[in-house]
Amino acid sequence: MAGIIDTIKLAGTLVFAIPAALAGLDFLLLREQTGIGLTLIGLAIGLVVIQHWLTMPTDIPELVANRVVGTVAKEPDDPDDDR
């Protein structure tokens, strides 16, 4: 589940990706300059993908905390083992 911070990061990325994609479509469809159009569309897609998969240095404490909580508070595999 994405939090408010992830949503804000995505919105910031889309501020740059959407104009690049629209310019790419303009070059591709209206001006018939395929190379520039496809490059701009690829750039826009790349921006969103990299933002989604890239781990920033500010994300590391959250990742470490999730791993620590996952190892300390493991749920039992079988509910019958609680006897």
pLDDT grade for 5, boundaries at 50, 70 and 90: confident
pLDDT tens track for 16-66: 999 999 999 999 999 989 999 999 999 999 999 998 887 667 667 776 777
* pLDDT on residue 19: 96
* pLDDT on residue 6: 80
pLDDT grade for 1, boundaries at 50, 70 and 90: very low
DSSP string, 1-43: ---HHHHHHHHHHHHHHHHHHHHHHIIIIIS--HHHHHHHHHH
